[in-house]
Amino acid sequence: MDIEFDPAKDAANIAEHGVSPAAAVDFDIRAVVRDERRDYDEERFNAFGLLYGRTFCLTFCRRAGGFRAISLRRAHAKEYRRHVL
């Protein structure tokens, strides 16, 4: 699976969440829900799953030939339970 991301956004994500969106290649997805919090210019999704043995949330959109990682962060226990368990 091809995953692309913005290098500047990558640095910001590492600073804020301690993990690079590049790690999404190792992400074990357990559930995917459409992100409908706002009207984005594109269809966005939140994937919940495991990375490094911990629960994470990956926000992404589909692009031709792959996916664009927007954000990768630790998932809140409540949201993980809501979507995965």
What pLDDT tens digit does each residue of the chain (85 aa) get?
578 888 888 999 999 999 999 898 899 999 999 998 888 888 999 999 999 999 999 999 998 878 999 999 999 999 999 999 7
State residue 78 phi and psi, 5-degree precision: -65, -45
Which superfamily does 3-83 belong to? Ribonuclease toxin, BrnT, of type II toxin-antitoxin system (3.10.450.530)
Please give the Cα distance from 2 to 83 (Å, whole number).
Answer: 25
- Note whether 30 and 50 are within 8 A (CB): yes
Q: How is the chain split into domains, by residue range?
A: 3-83
State residue 60 phi and psi, 5-degree precision: -150, 170
DSSP string covering 1-48: --EE--HHHHHHHHHHHSS-GGGGGG-EEEEEEE--SS--SS-EEEEE
